[in-house]
Structure 1
Amino acid sequence: MKGTIKEQVHAHKSPDGTEYLHSHENTHKHSHQNTKTVLNRLSRAIGHLESVKRMVEDGRDCSEVLIQLSAVISALNNTGKVILKDHMEHCIVDAVESGDKAAIEDLTKAIDSFMK
């Protein structure tokens, strides 16, 4: 939802035992090493999906359309795997180190949704 700010506040405990509150808003921007790769993959998938749409508009054989649609779905799933791996290597490592159970719960929910 564009323009909506959802704030999530949770506590962190540093290695020295100091506790502090930390919040994330949906406007929080993550920076990962694979952002460019993900954007490129998404651009290719969008182009491929537009091509599949044209195939349907042109009345192409259903088998051909399904094969190409399967390729788009596979590309999106593989892109999701890149995002998941990057998130686990960065955000989740940080969350585990700081005891951020909410971030781990959020990841679990996201994985459940992604794998449906």
Structure 2
Amino acid sequence: MDHHSHVHKNRKQVINRLAKIEGHVRSIKEMTQNGRDCPDILLQIAAVRKALDNAAKIILTDHMEGCLVDAVRNGEEEKVLQDIKKALENFIH
């Protein structure tokens, strides 16, 4: 796993979003345990999926603005292309 030496400018924002998502998932679990209607549960799952997608977009933006720009500046264009392809393959399925 790669570890970056630079700071991602939106790291705290992503961590906060993930904490909210974590709480939301716990509440969905409780809804399920309490026998809530399926459409209500599915609506909440859809909200979590959207929230995860939005967090991923922030991470991907940070990756492009930070990691990839640094790699280009360091003459690592091939690594830039490999990294963005890998990131997109993981994100878009």
Answer 1 or 2: higher relative contact order, Cα 8 Å, separation at least 6.
Answer: 2
Q: For 1:49 and 1:86, locate their aligned partners in 2 and report how far apart those are by CA, in whole Å.
A: 25
* CA contact 1:34–1:86 (8 Å) conserved in 2: yes
Shift of 1:31: 1.9
Aligned to 2:90: 113
Paired residue total: 91
What fraction of aligned residue pairs are identical, expressed as a percent? Answer: 46
Give the greater-gyration-radius structure (CA): 1
Bigger helix share: 2
- Runs of at least 5 residues in structure 1 that lack an aligned partner in the other structure: 1-25
Which structure shows the higher strand fraction?
A: 1
Runs of at least 5 residues in structure 2 that lack an aligned partner in the other structure: none
1:79 to 36, 55, 64: 55
Partner letter of residue 79 of structure 2? A
Structure 1 position 109, deviation (Å): 1.4
Q: 2 CA distance for matches of 1:72 and 1:78?
A: 10
RMSD of equivalent CA atoms: 1.4
Shift of 1:27: 6.0
Report Cα offsets for 1:17-49 as digits up to 9, x if no partner.
xxxxxxxxx262452111100000000000001
| Distance (whole Å) between structure 1 residues aligned to residue 3 and residue 62 of structure 2 | 16
Q: Deviations over 1:43-69 (max 9, x none)?
A: 000000110111111111000000000
CA distance in 1, matches of 2:48, 2:18: 10
Is the contact between residue 42 and residue 79 of structure 1 (CA under 8 Å) also seen in structure 2? yes
Write the deviation string for residues 85-107 of structure 1: whole angstroms up to 9, x where unpaired.
01111111111222311243022
> Shift of residue 74 of structure 1?
0.4
Aligned to 2:11: 35
